[in-house]
């Protein structure tokens, strides 16, 4: 007896759904793509319960005839390709003929549609993959699809969905980015209580960016001059004159926006890449972007980038992944270099002044000459001017599996003093403090400076290095304290205590600070508004996707309020994970203390240094800042003796 059998169509559809439909946002993606493929000029999306209860998409595209409306739910039914050859020249967003049957297999779906060639529309109702009803209805041209109770047939799958606000955030991000890629179309996204996005058609990506992200984001961005190149130019001529690219060669066009170098994001969430207006993830392009920013951004921080690539369909294979989010380029290296060079050109043309010190390590071999130029130019600036803009160093990448942004599990004191190599302890500020400044003990220079286990209370401050690090002594040796990190720790402890006691001190702002939110930030804002209130913020809605901050936690300089709000919203919306309330509180406290803390390059009076050292000693965990970086380094008596060869 044979034990192999062919799966029924309904099982096959559920399997396909597993690949294509991960969450409400993936349903929205497929339906949006269908609407755009159908030539819609206007797409309206409404969701309830983050899309878990309802997703409804209405478009004014070409619609479907009665017969097509039924055929569309068959597996591998598509109007977009006919033969295998067509796979190599796909100009539509869809082509697999899988989305509608997959979605219908795991939800209750109603389709209403009318094609211009027919007088009446068609209504099709399907639940859990079973056809329930088909009838004639009156319907204007175009299509409406309603998807209710996603995964009601697969409760196990439903459990994997995150909170409503997280899912809504994903939907908002998705709709936002399709809106960015299609400025000539109008998009609207609403939840039961809110209009999250509403953008009428505009003429350029720039105007669309302004509609969607607001003027403040636009100010952080540089628009790239569109670059067009024929693929053959990539092939270097063996000798002599550059070869004339043949007019037959495929033409590739890059345009988009990148952030100014002073904008530093803690994750890659703000990097978006579109190939022929399809939003994709692509490691090659990510690499090209990182390369372009090399030595302009410090390692571990990321820019904002929106890159639009237009490329003949024959040059790119989109049939790589069921959800069509990955692509393969025929001339990958060419595309990589084109993207990297276009970004770099933009960065250099605008002669950005970087707001951080350059790493002293030699540029890696093969680095474009221009990068070294920027580095040199920066190195020539007077140290003080440069120091004035030193931001706190980016958090160290934490262990895999933990948050990249913050590490708020109470920093453990290592059983043994953690040893910091000289280089990593001092390198970020190396241009003004040459590493030779410290006498290095011959064999174990790297181990001489260490983060001690406990902070004694009898430290005598002597002064500051570069108005950034406090130098102190006691009988045990020499101590160096990062004044920003130390103050951060002090403020963090105090804020956490006050938040627990519900006694956060509040300052009213003279003028409310207006903050524009991106669609997904608005979703996050609504989810955490109450917690923001408990942390000393008084925030009120102020027009569409704009809020007015009227009061903020005491101690916070007014010009930090906006940055802080955005940082909190971004930190609270990390990809894929809903934060627990504890995590959220920890992050808010860390952000507040970071923005309120004494900065680097700030002169401190002796009394203030004394106070800071005492206050630090009184905290629960004086050795690390709330982000997990060390606050104090020690150069012990023994190390000194050794270094001077006295022992």
Which residues are near ligand ADP by CB under 6 A? 30, 34-35, 38, 59, 61-64, 72, 77-80, 94-100, 143
Helices 606-617 and 483-500: angle between axes, nearest 10 degrees: 50
Partner in contact with 61, chosen from Mg ion, ligand ADP, none, beta carbon below 5 to 8 Å by kind: ligand ADP
Grouping H, G, I as helix, E, B as strand and the rest as coil, residue 515 is strand
Interface contacts to Mg ion, rule CB under 5 A:
34, 94, 99
As measured in angstroms, the least distance from the Cβ of 451 to ligand ADP is 56
Cα distance between residue 443 and residue 412, in whole Å = 29
Residue 522 interacts, among ligand ADP, Mg ion, none and using kind-specific CB cut-offs from 5 to 8 Å, with none
Residues 6+ apart with CB under 8 A from 453: 413, 414, 417, 623
Smallest gap from Cβ 128 to ligand ADP, in A, equals 17
* DSSP labels, 235-269: S--SSSSPPPPPTTSPEEEEEEEEE-TT--BSSGG
Residue 61 C-beta: closest distance to ligand ADP, Å: 5
Q: Give the shortest CB-93-to-ligand ADP separation in angstroms.
A: 7
Token output for 134: 């088909």
- Smallest gap from residue 118 Cβ to Mg ion (A): 21
Q: Can you say whether the dihedral through the CA atoms of 545, 550, 551, 556 is positive or negative?
A: positive
Cβ-based nearer residue to Mg ion, 40 or 513 = 40
> What residue is closest to Mg ion based on CB?
94
Detail the DSSP E strand segments found in 538-606: 538-541, 546-553
**Residue 567 contacts which entry, ligand ADP, Mg ion, none (Cβ below 5-8 A, type-dependent):** none
Nearer to ligand ADP by C-beta: 184 or 458? 184
CB of 183 to ligand ADP, least distance (A): 20
Closest CB 560 distance from ligand ADP, rounded Å: 46
CB 456 within 8 A of CB 474: yes
- The one of ligand ADP, Mg ion, none whose footprint includes residue 35, by CB under 5 to 8 A per kind, is ligand ADP
Minimum CB separation of residue 328 from ligand ADP in Å reads 18
Let me know: does 65 contact 117? Beta carbons within 8 Å. Answer: yes
| Burial class for 117, CB neighbours closer than 10 Å (0-12, 13-18, 19+) | exposed
By beta-carbon proximity to Mg ion, the closer residue of 78 and 403 is: 78
Between 317 and 381, name the residue whose CB sits nearer to Mg ion.
317
Q: What phi, psi does 452 have (nearest 5°)?
A: -75, 175
The distance of closest approach from Cβ of residue 396 to ligand ADP in the complex, given in angstroms and rounded to an integer, is 44
Residue 252 binds which entry of ligand ADP, Mg ion, none, CB below 5-8 Å type-dependent: none
> Three-state DSSP class for 16?
helix
Q: Which is nearer to ligand ADP, 140 or 557 (CB)?
A: 140
Give the one entry of ligand ADP, Mg ion, none that residue 97 binds, where binding means its C-beta sits below a cut-off of 5 to 8 angstroms depending on kind.
ligand ADP
3-state secondary structure of 587: helix
Contact 126, 74 (CB under 8 A): no
User: Among residues 144 and 486, whose Cβ is nearest to Mg ion?
Assistant: 144
- Which of ligand ADP, Mg ion, none sits in contact with 593, Cβ below 5 to 8 A by type? none
Instruction: Give the nearest distance from C-beta 41 to ligand ADP in angstroms.
Output: 12
Query: For residues 94 and 261, which CB has a smaller minimum distance to ligand ADP in the complex?
Result: 94
Please provide the DSSP assignment of 283-330 as one string: HHHHHHHHHHTBTTB-TT-B--EEEEEE--GGGEE-TTSTTS---EET
Q: Is 646 left (phi over 0), alpha (psi -120 to 50) or beta?
A: alpha
Least CB distance to ligand ADP at residue 562 (A):
40
Q: Rounded to the nearest 5°, which phi and psi values hold at 531? A: -65, -35
Q: Which is nearer to ligand ADP, 43 or 515 (CB)?
A: 43
Rounded CA separation 9/125 (Å): 18
Nearer to ligand ADP, 42 or 294 (CB): 42
CB of 97 to Mg ion, least distance (A): 8
* Residue number, 184 or 376, with CB nearest to ligand ADP: 184
Residues 6 or more apart whose CB falls under 8 angstroms from that of 215 comprise 516
Residue with smaller CB distance to ligand ADP, 63 or 256: 63
For residues 614 and 490, what is the distance between their CA atoms, to the nearest angstrom? 10
Report d(CA 289, CA 356) in Å as an integer: 19
Residue 622 touches which member of Mg ion, ligand ADP, none, C-beta under 5-8 Å by kind: none
Backbone angles phi, psi at 271, to 5 degrees: -105, 120
| Smallest separation (angstroms) from ligand ADP to the CB of 37 | 6
Q: Tell me how many helices (H) and strands (E) the chain has.
A: 20, 23
Nearer CB in complex with ligand ADP: 112/482: 112
| Residue 482 contact, options ligand ADP, Mg ion, none, Cβ 5-8 Å cut-off depending on partner type | none
CB of 313 to ligand ADP, least distance (A): 15
Contact in structure between 142 and 61 (CB atoms under 8 Å): yes
Distance CA 384, CA 378 (A): 12
Cα separation, 184 vs 202, in Å, equals: 5
CB closer to Mg ion out of 99 and 485? 99
Partner in contact with 565, chosen from ligand ADP, Mg ion, none, beta carbon below 5 to 8 Å by kind? none
Contact present, 565 and 518 (Cβ < 8 Å): no
Using DSSP bridges, classify how beta strands 108-114 and 121-127 pair: parallel, antiparallel or unpaired. antiparallel
| 621: CB partners within 8 A, 6+ apart | 410, 411, 413, 489, 493
Name which of 57 and 613 has its Cβ closer to ligand ADP.
57
Q: Which of 506, 498, 468 is nearest to 598 (CA)?
A: 468
Closest among 452, 466, 490 to 602, alpha carbons compared: 466
Q: Indicate the residue whose CB is closest to ligand ADP.
A: 94
């Amino acid at each position: 007896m044979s034990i192999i059998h062919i799966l029924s169509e309904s099982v096959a559809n559920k399997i396909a759904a597993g690949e294509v439909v991960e969450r409400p946002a993936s349903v929205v993606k497929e339906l949006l793509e269908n609407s755009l493929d159908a030539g819609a000029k206007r797409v309206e999306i409404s969701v309830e319960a983050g899309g878990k209860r309802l997703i409804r998409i209405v478009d004014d595209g070409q619609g479907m005839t009665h017969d097509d409306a039924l055929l569309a739910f068959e597996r591998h039914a598509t109007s977009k390709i006919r033969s295998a050859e067509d796979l190599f020249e796909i100009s539509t967003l869809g082509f697999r003929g899988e989305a509608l049957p997959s979605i219908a297999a795991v939800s209750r779906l109603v389709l209403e549609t009318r094609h211009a060639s027919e007088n009446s529309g068609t209504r099709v109702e399907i639940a859990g993959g079973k056809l329930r009803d088909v009838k004639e209805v009156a319907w204007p041209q175009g299509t409406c699809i309603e998807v209710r109770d996603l995964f009601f047939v697969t409760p196990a799958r439903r459990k994997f969905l995150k909170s409503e606000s997280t899912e809504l955030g994903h939907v908002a991000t998705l709709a936002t980015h399709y809106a960015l890629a299609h400025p000539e179309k109008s998009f609207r996204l609403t939840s039961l209580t809110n209009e999250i996005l509403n953008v009428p058609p505009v003429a350029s990506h720039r105007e669309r960016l302004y509609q969607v992200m607001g003027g403040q984001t636009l100010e952080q961005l540089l628009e790239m001059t569109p670059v067009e190149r024929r693929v053959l130019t990539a092939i270097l001529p063996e000798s002599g004159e550059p070869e004339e690219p043949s007019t037959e060669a495929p033409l590739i066009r890059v345009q988009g926006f990148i952030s100014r170098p002073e904008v530093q994001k803690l994750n890659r969430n703000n990097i978006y890449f579109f190939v022929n207006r399809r939003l994709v993830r692509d490691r090659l392009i990510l690499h090209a972007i990182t390369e372009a920013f090399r030595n302009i951004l410090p390692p571990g921080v990321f820019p904002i980038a929106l890159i639009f690539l237009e490329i003949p369909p024959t040059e790119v294979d989109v049939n790589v992944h069921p959800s069509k989010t990955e692509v393969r380029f025929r001339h990958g290296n060419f595309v990589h270099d084109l993207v990297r060079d276009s970004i770099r050109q933009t960065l250099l043309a605008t002669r950005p002044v970087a707001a951080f010190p350059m790493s002293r390590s030699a540029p890696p071999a093969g680095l474009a000459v221009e990068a070294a130029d920027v580095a040199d130019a920066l190195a020539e600036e007077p140290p003080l001017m440069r120091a004035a803009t030193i931001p706190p160093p980016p958090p160290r990448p934490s262990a895999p599996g933990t948050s990249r942004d913050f590490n708020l599990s109470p920093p453990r004191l290592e059983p043994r003093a953690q040893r910091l190599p000289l280089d990593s302890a001092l390198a970020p500020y190396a241009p003004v403090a040459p590493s030779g400044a410290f006498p290095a003990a011959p064999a174990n220079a790297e181990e001489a400076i260490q983060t001690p286990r406990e902070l004694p209370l009898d430290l005598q401050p002597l002064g500051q290095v570069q108005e950034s690090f406090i130098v102190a002594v006691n009988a045990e040796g020499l101590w160096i304290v990062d004044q920003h990190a130390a103050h951060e720790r002090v403020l963090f402890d105090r804020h956490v205590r006050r938040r627990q006691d519900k006694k956060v001190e509040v300052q009213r702002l003279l003028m409310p600070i207006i903050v524009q939110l991106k669609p997904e930030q608005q979703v996050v804002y609504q989810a955490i508004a109450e917690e923001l209130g408990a942390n000393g913020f008084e925030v009120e809605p102020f027009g569409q996707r704009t809020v007015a901050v009227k009061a903020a936690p005491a101690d916070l300089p007014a010009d930090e309020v906006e940055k802080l709000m955005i940082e909190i919203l971004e930190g609270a919306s990390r990809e894929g994970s809903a934060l627990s309330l504890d995590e959220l509180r920890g992050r808010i406290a860390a952000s507040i203390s970071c923005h309120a803390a004494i900065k680097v390059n700030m002169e401190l009076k002796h009394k203030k240094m004394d106070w800071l050292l005492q206050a630090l000693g009184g905290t629960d965990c004086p050795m690390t800042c709330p982000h997990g970086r060390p606050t104090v380094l020690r150069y012990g008596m023994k190390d000194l003796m050794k270094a001077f060869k006295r022992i």
